[in-house]
Amino acid sequence: MHGGDIVGEVLLAHGVRHLFTLIGGHISPILVGAKQRGIRVIDVRDEVTAVFAADATARLTGVPGVAAVTAGPGCTNVITAVKNAELAESPVVVLGGATATLLKGRGALQDIDQLALFTPCTKWTGRATKVNEIAPLLVEAFARAKSGVPGPVFLELPIDLLYPEETVRSWTLAKGQGKSLPERALGLYLKRHLDSMFAGVPSTSADVPARPEHVEIKLPPHHKLKAAGEALRAAERPVIVVGSQTMAEPLRAPDVARALERIGAPVYLSGAARGLLGKGHPLQTRHKRKEALREADVVILAGTPADFRLDYGMHISRKATYIAAGRDARVLHKNRWPQIAAAGDAGAFLVGLATELGEGEGERYGPWRAKLTERDAERDRQIANDAAAPCQGGINPLAFCRALEEALAPDAVLIADGGDFVATASYVLRPRAPLSWLDPGVFGTLGVGAGFAIGAKALHPEREHWLIFGDGSFGWSMSEIDTLVRHRLPVIAVIGNDACWTQIARDQLDILKDDVATGLLRSDYHKVCEALGGKGIVVTREEECGSALRQAKAWAAEGFPVVVNVHIGKTDFRKGSISV
């Protein structure tokens, strides 16, 4: 077996169904080895997209996503996506090609210190130097990605460990041929190096040590659950904020949802937890979170830190009992010291808390829930009024988002990639089910959209996938329409096109009186999709929205990626909301 075969066996043993890549000579055996074992290889147009796609599969399945990239620039191109995965605590395995072991540090093509590059933004890095090290190191990489606080890892696999032994020997020993003493000595050295490098290579699949390591999930201590239960029993106005890391074990999402129902406190869902309770659940509160946190007497942050999104903990009343649950003990104490810090899996914390409380404890929160529900309804009425208002320069973005909300299928998956338009959409769009919302996470990275959509659609081809873009963020993803077309991944991309980086421009113009670098063109993005083999629609009037979305759904059902280019106008709906 060659090294690519060994990688394929380990991926198969770990339940990997997709390998994302951009082809390069250093890694070709990995792709062939994976394909021959039934793993779908999806090649993209930018390496960063491959890691974003792997990240999406990890978030949706809990199995570490895998991307393979070539040496040098292939590795440097993915750093943004790797850092995004680190901050999102998403388990991703990046396999990096590298120059031959004998040529390391000698000026070979695309040879850089890749471990030094990845060490600051990964949980673990490794480098194989012999073929029989590939499987153990890759098994360790998967375990490291999943253990403790999940995150990305990097394994470097030199080219001469991946290709068939006969091929590598012919390449290498050709340099040591000759009759002179130095040439004969070089030939002997090269042969000994190759003999060592290929010693113990597995002959068959059964010989590959590919079995996954068992990864323990840290559970919150029982005394912390007991203390949290006592706080809730004494509470009248509790609030639970559920964040992305509550979904670290995606298969347990239904258990977490049932736990929240048993607890009975009002719930705000954020990040990957959006959709956990379905659409319109009576416990879910969507608006005015800051006001609710300031009025609450108990606040639970489950799987989300007290970072800039909560004004570094300042949104939480000083009089409230603050409870934090999550896998990273350091994060639990960031910016705001909780009275109860439950270090362990956030989903398991909520399930354990529901068991600790028993049945019926949440009935006393009825008046508090009713107050927040009415507050939500009032905000929804305001949004409806805002959506009906005239809009300068194009379609009111709120009106379009309301039309999109009506068009979404019950199984729709939403992928968010953008600033002002995406944030506006989040006020209106309601994810239908758990694991049906993907956004970059705390890093706020633009450009995740195409990769997330590729990964998600590859996992669930039967479901409807909507990619919500701003016209700024779409610039990162245009070439990946080619990927969607080639691999028959019919995603519907909706672009809120106002010819501007609006999230920045609005406040920059007000504060600095200059709109420099914020202007774009009202470009024909739909024609880009058509040119690459997909379908495109332009929408310039509000009355066209419904028919355009129906046509997009019909084309997607036929197997075409679609871009809906929506000419939106300017509003003050999110004025003053820039995050820095």
The DSSP annotation for 291-359 comes to HHHHH-SEEEEES--SSGGGGGGTTS-TTSEEEEEES-HHHHTSSS--SEEEES-HHHHHHHHHHHH-S
Print pLDDT tens along the chain (580 aa).
Answer: 999 999 999 999 999 999 999 999 999 999 999 999 999 999 999 999 999 999 999 999 999 999 999 999 999 999 999 999 999 999 999 999 999 999 999 999 899 999 999 999 999 999 999 999 999 999 999 999 999 999 999 999 999 999 999 999 998 888 767 778 888 898 899 999 999 999 999 999 999 999 999 999 999 999 999 999 999 999 999 999 999 999 999 999 999 999 999 999 999 999 999 999 999 899 999 999 999 999 999 999 999 999 999 999 999 999 999 999 999 999 999 999 999 999 999 999 999 999 999 887 788 999 999 999 999 999 999 999 999 998 989 999 999 999 999 999 999 999 999 999 999 999 999 999 999 999 999 999 999 999 999 999 999 999 999 999 999 999 999 999 999 999 999 999 999 999 999 999 988 999 999 999 999 999 999 999 999 999 999 999 999 999 999 999 999 999 999 999 999 998 888 776 665 6
**417: helix, strand or coil:** strand
Q: Which of 12, 24, 19 is nearest to 92 (CA)?
A: 19
Question: Which residues, at least 6 apart from 110, have a Cβ–Cβ distance to it below 8 Å?
Answer: 26, 70, 71, 72, 73, 74, 99
**How far apart are the C-alpha atoms of 361 and 367, rounded to whole Å?**
14
Question: Which residues, at least 6 apart from 255, have a Cβ–Cβ distance to it below 8 Å?
Answer: 347, 351
Q: pTM for the full model?
A: 0.96
State whether the Cα torsion 153-158-159-164 is positive or negative: negative
Residues 31, 4 contacting (CB under 8 angstroms): yes
Which ranges of 389-437 does DSSP label H, i.e. alpha helix? 397-407, 420-428
Locate the DSSP E strands across 119-180.
124-127, 153-158
Backbone dihedral angles phi then psi of residue 154, each to the nearest 5 degrees: -135, 130
Instruction: Give the domains, in start order, of the chain with CATH numbers.
Output: 3-207 (3.40.50.970), 222-372 (3.40.50.1220), 389-567 (3.40.50.970)
**How far apart are the C-alpha atoms of 329 and 343, rounded to whole Å?**
5
